[in-house]
Amino acid sequence: MMASILIVEDELAIAELQRDYFALHGFEIDICTTGTDGLRHASEAVYDLIILDLQLPGIDGFELCRQIRSMSEVPILIVSAKKEEVDKIRGFGLGADDFVTKPFSPSELVARAKAHLSRYERLLGNHKKEEDRAICIRELTIDKAARRVHVHGHEVVLTVREFDLLVFLALHPNRVFSKQELFERIWGMESMGDIATVTVHVRRLREKIETAPSNPQFIETIWGAGYRFTV
């Protein structure tokens, strides 16, 4: 499968130069020219690598880097015209994987991207082997292979959808999902229901897994945004 890369760069000429080089090496490329658009793409699609310019209209590259990192472990490569900016982002510890200063050599950019892609593939490969291992978070243990859940060592019985919802959230810790997103991911096309069913399932899940369902420690409500599985 072709690796896909998101390029967030407001100078279209630079973005297109990057795209052409990556395309030559068999990558699939999406270009966004604003930080806002970049964030939307990064949250809606799955990329193998993200290349960020720092000075962007809307959300700048610093904030974008921070937000993408809070959602995923995807490699982030920063391209910046100013060395001081690179120093700054290093200092901020925003989770970027690499830095390239402009003007850059496109072949160097591609080489670095490839190095990060193979590192990331190894990381995902390792996760895959662990796919069937239990998820243990504080007093909660989720055995995905056996589809069993224990709280403080006691088994709790979940319905199929409750279990799927819990596993989905637990596999994406600390990330906020709207009810709509959860509905689409868990219930998908087969369901004629509405997103209120998400609220109902979250409530039942909390009653089963939370020590104090009215003050949930696992599935938190983020007002106006949705739910977050807090780790």
Contact residues for Ca ion (CB under 5 A)? 10, 53, 55
Pick the closer one to Ca ion by CB: 99 or 187: 99
Q: What DSSP line would sit under 143-156, residue for residue? A: ETTTTEEEETTEEE
CB-based contacts of 72, cutoff 8 Å, min separation 6: 42
| Rounded-to-integer distance, Cα 48 and Cα 26, Å | 13
Select 30 or 60, whichever has its Cβ closest to Ca ion: 60
108, 121 contact by CB (below 8 A): no
β-bridge partners, 28: 4
User: For residues 55 and 221, which CB has a smaller minimum distance to Ca ion in the complex?
Assistant: 55
Q: How far is the CB of 25 from Ca ion (least distance, A)?
A: 23
Task: Quote the CA–CA distance of 62 and 85 in Å, as a whole number.
Answer: 9
Smaller CB separation from Ca ion, 22 or 80 = 80
Closest distance of CB 48 from Ca ion, Å: 23
Query: Nearest residue to Ca ion, using CB?
Result: 55
Q: What are phi and psi of 159, to 5 degrees?
A: -75, 170
CB of 77 to Ca ion, least distance (A): 15
Environment class of 68 (CB within 10 Å of its CB; exposed 0-12, middle 13-18, buried 19+):
buried
Decide whether 48 or 85 has the Cβ nearer to Ca ion. Answer: 85
User: At closest approach, how far in Å is the CB of 100 from Ca ion?
Assistant: 13
Q: How far is the CB of 110 from Ca ion (least distance, A)?
A: 20
